[in-house]
Structure 1
Amino acid sequence: MTAKAPIFIAYFHPLKVEYSDTTIITLLKQGSEKVFETVFKDHFKNLHAYAYTFLKDDELAEEVVQNVFCRIWEKRDQLKPEGSVKAYLYRSVHNESLNYLKHQKVKASFRVYYADEMENASNLSSEKVMVNELEKHIHQAINELPQQCRIIFQLSRFEHLKYQQIADQMGLSIKTIENQMGKALKLMRVKLAEFLTIMLFLLISR
């Protein structure tokens, strides 16, 4: 079972002992709660302010930073002993903030799309039920995709980005993007197979 991240509070006085980036990462990989708290105390305030520039909400910014630190602790054995800890933290908060905003944008797109669907079917109560059911399962199918797979699918289908643009944005090869999209489409087909009849009915009834 993965050890839970140590409980921490948002604001502390800076610690007197300073470690090199290599030492910090080495000690984190060894499970040092003291070093983990040191990093949190030293960087939380500025990271919170950085997240706020994206999210414009104090609580959301705090949640994003907390999530980043929790993930670092949970996956500390995967940390690499080279590079700047500060740069890694800012990059992680940047990505976490953008992923949150993209998720909200996708949710908004679904609301608009299905609001139109519901309006067009306003006089057909049975169709309303089917649209609601389909919407629920599409949401669920997308949310159950692996994280990288889900982000690539959303960027392609809802942001309308080309594979090369997605590859450049995520720092991945275009082959990886193609493979992940193929995987996403295959998983979506499997998860929504039982609703094929409903989707066909909705298309034919238009």
Structure 2
Amino acid sequence: MKNEENKLIKKLKAGDEGVFKRIFYLYSDRLFVWAYKITGDSLASADIVQDFFIRCWEKRDILPDKCSFKAYAYKSVYNASLNYLRDNKRFVYGYEITIDLIDDDVRDEDIEELKRLLLKAIDELPDRCKKIFVMTTMEKKKYTEVADLLGISVNTVKVQVSKAYRILKEKIG
């Protein structure tokens, strides 16, 4: 499979549109599902995958030669999905910690376990930090709105959200 993939990438880098279509049809559905698991937004997920393939075609000459295209594609879509969440001030339970779970065989039970661990870790946050984190991520309030409601600065909200993410990362790994 690795040799087959390397041949496809070489042809893609040479500008073979047929190979590009083949790669697109081979990976696009799975990448969409991956992006949707992270963002929870089907339109955004479709855009993320489409943008990935547009960049692949436009910058095909700089695609990596010696690494797995599948891993490259999943990692690129993962990063774009996180950027989407960051830019839209949204958080979807459990999916931010699935960076190493790019296998197609991720079981729903594993995701549910991650969600359970994440909820437990959120519940253990310091009270003020938890309140701000819940308001910004789960209730999807903007930082300015949270700052106004709590009578604090926007910077304090940012610091507390950052602190919460750091604590959650430490607790969950």
Indicate the TM-score class for this superposition, using the shorter chain for normalisation. 0.5 to 0.7
1:35-80, CA deviations, whole angstroms, 9 ceiling, x for partnerless residues?
1111001111111111111111221111111111111112111112
Moved more, 103-112 or 48-57: 103-112
Residue 61 of structure 2: aligned partner: 77
Q: Is the 8 A contact 1:21 1:82 kept in 2?
A: no
Distance 1:156 1:50 in 2: 30
Give me the whole-angstrom Cα distance separating, in 1, the residues matched to 2:58 and 2:141.
Answer: 31
Aligned identity (percent) is 35
1:60 to 34, 37, 44: 44
Answering whether residue 32 of structure 2 is matched by residue 48 of structure 1, we say yes
Cross-structure match for 2:76: 92
Aligned in 2, Cα 1:159/1:70: closer, same or farther, shift over 3 Å?
A: farther
- Measure the CA separation in 1 of the matches of 2:37 and 2:79: 13
- Which letter does structure 1 place at the counterpart of 2:8? I
Root-mean-square deviation over aligned CA pairs: 3.3
Tell me which residue corresponds to 1:159.
162
Unaligned stretches of 5+ in structure 1? 1-18, 121-154, 166-206
Q: Report the Cα distance in structure 1 between the residues aligned to 2:48 and 2:88, rounded to whole angstroms.
A: 14
Residue 89 (structure 2) aligns with: 105
Q: Residue type of the partner of 1:25? A: I
Q: Match of 1:31?
A: 15
State the TM-score, normalizing by the size of structure 1.
Answer: 0.45
Hey, what's the Cα distance between the residues in 2 that align with 1:35 and 1:108?
Answer: 44
1:81-103 superposed Cα distances (whole Å, 9 cap, x missing partner)? 11111111111111110111011
Aligned letter for 2:75? Answer: R
Look up the equivalent residue of 1:67 and give its one-letter code: D
TM-score, length of structure 2 as denominator length: 0.53
Distance 2:24 2:77 in 1: 13
- Long gaps (5+) in structure 2: 91-139, 152-157
Q: How many residues align?
A: 111
Q: Residue 159 of structure 1: CA displacement? A: 3.0
The residue identity in structure 1 corresponding to 2:49 is V
